[in-house]
Structure 1
Amino acid sequence: MSIVQLTDVEVDYDRGRALGPLTLGVAAGETVALVGPSGCGKSTALRLLAGLEAPTRGAIARMTGRGETAVVFQAPTLAPWLSAQANVALPLELAGVAKAEAHERAAAALARVGLSGAEAKRPVQLSGGMAMRVSLARALVTEPRLLLLDEPFAALDEITRRALADDVLSLWAASKPAIVFVTHNVEEAVYMASRVVVLTRGPGRIAADFAVAGPIPRPPHFRAEADFRATSEAVSAALAEGIAA
């Protein structure tokens, strides 16, 4: 059963159509990557899934309740005047959780992303990778059923990207939220997702939909396995065809 379903959605802006028609369902506990050329509407699709934008046409059905969807953007978007712990506690406090409990849960969330001891640090004192981990902790502290990631690793170096990809998959294994994430990196998509959806050039439509075999979290050397290489090549080929479509 889908935790969120887009049916024949289209999004029009003043400059023209940005997305669609697009039909996409995401099952509970599923990890889905959206890949496609720049300007194809990937981030627009994510905003629809998040409820941050309404389609011009089509329908959206969500099974998530208030506070059960979390979004992590490309930039960490942390409040610079708050500590890491206070940033993570903020959505809980806004939801009416008592401050002491919110900060206790925030400290536990920071520990889950490997940031024990960094609770008092301000955003300016954090590396790019640490700041993104704080953003992940803030998203996960509410225990969402749907986690949406909009190119969260794009500004990070390759080593940090790979480490954070493993972190996200380990965090997924603990609570199994549905995850939808946008990326331009085909190998990152195949590594992190159980399903890769390829969009055409804008206005984005589905060009291909691939199931990715293998356990999550990924075992060591997964990127070197023949199935991973073959799926990555198939996604790349579909992406090239989608750009030309």
Structure 2
Amino acid sequence: MTVASLLDVEVDYDRGRALGPLTLSIGAGEIVALVGPSGCGKSTALRLLAGLEDPTRGEARRAAGRGETAVVFQAPTLAPWRSARANVALPLELAGVAPDEARTRADAALARVGLAGAEAARPAQLSGGMAMRVSLARALVTAPRLLLLDEPFAALDEITRRRLADDVLALWDASRPAIAFVTHNVEEAVYMASRVVVLSRGPGRIAAEFAVDGPLPRPDGFRAAEGFRATAEAVSAALAKGIDA
């Protein structure tokens, strides 16, 4: 079953075309990574899937209903005056959930991302990795069918990035939402995704697609496996070709 799709979409800005034509489908429970050179329209494609922007031409379809699509941006975008609990509870409050239930569900979401005990902390008291975990908890608290991640780990160090990649896969395994995420890191894309889509230089079109073999979540040592290395090299080669095209 398809959860979200872009059908022959094109996006034009004053400076010219930013994306397309592009056709892309995200299946239920699928994890899709979008990689491509800067300015190719990866984040634009994600905004179309999120319903934050409309295509100039073509059609964008996604899971309908309040809370069924959630977005995590590169910056955690947390309200600095609210506690971690209150930040995570916000989408529930906006949906009319009773305050006691919203707090209970927020605490459970924070526990799922490893932040039990930090419910009262404010964003200024959190590390970058902890703040991103709060942002993930806020996205997951509504049990979305579609989770969109726009370079959520870009500002983090490599060790934290890898740890959070495993955390996201563990969270995915618990409820199996469809995930589409944007990254500049080829190895991160191959590690986290069941399918990697390579976009050409802008205006972005699909230059290549790769299925990634192996179980999800990834087992220990997966990054050293021959299949992982071969797929990462193939994605890198397609990316280089797309940039030069």
| TM-score normalized by the length of structure 1 | 0.99
Q: Within 2, Cα distance between the matches of 1:130 and 1:222? A: 25
Q: Within 2, Cα distance between the matches of 1:146 and 1:188? A: 20
Q: CA deviation at 1:193?
A: 0.2
| Large movers: runs of 4+ above 4 Å | none
Q: Within 2, Cα distance between the matches of 1:56 and 1:195? A: 27
The residue number in structure 1 matching 2:191 is 191
Q: Within 2, Cα distance between the matches of 1:173 and 1:97? A: 26
Whether the 8 Å contact between 2:63 and 2:145 is mirrored in structure 1 is no
Aligned residues: 245
The residue number in structure 2 matching 1:127 is 127
Moved more, 230-239 or 62-71: 62-71
Whether the 8 Å contact between 2:3 and 2:28 is mirrored in structure 1 is yes
Cα deviations across residues 169-197 of structure 1 (Å, max 9, x unaligned)? Answer: 00000000000000000000000000000
Q: Within 2, Cα distance between the matches of 1:175 and 1:108? A: 14
Q: CA deviation at 1:148?
A: 0.1
Matches within 5 A, 1:227-238: 227-238=227-238
Whether the 8 Å contact between 1:64 and 1:146 is mirrored in structure 2 is no
What amino acid is aligned across from residue 208 of structure 1 in structure 2? A
The residue number in structure 2 matching 1:171 is 171
- Give the match's secondary structure for 2:109: helix
Q: Within 2, Cα distance between the matches of 1:39 and 1:194? A: 24
Cα deviations across residues 9-40 of structure 1 (Å, max 9, x unaligned)? Answer: 00000000000000000001000000000000
Q: CA deviation at 1:65?
A: 2.0
What amino acid is aligned across from residue 173 of structure 2 in structure 1? A
Matches within 5 A, 1:22-33: 22-33=22-33
1:92 paired with 2:92, answer yes
Q: Within 1, Cα distance between the matches of 2:6 and 2:194? A: 19
Matches within 5 A, 1:44-193: 44-193=44-193
Q: Within 2, Cα distance between the matches of 1:237 and 1:165? A: 23
- Give the match's secondary structure for 2:32: strand
The residue number in structure 1 matching 2:35 is 35
RMSD of equivalent CA atoms: 0.5
| TM-score normalized by the length of structure 2 | 0.99
Q: CA deviation at 1:206?
A: 0.1
The residue number in structure 2 matching 1:10 is 10
- Give the match's secondary structure for 1:77: coil
What amino acid is aligned across from residue 191 of structure 1 in structure 2? Y
Instruction: Mark the runs of 5 or more structure 2 residues left unpaired by the alignment.
Output: none
**Matched residues, percent identical?**
82
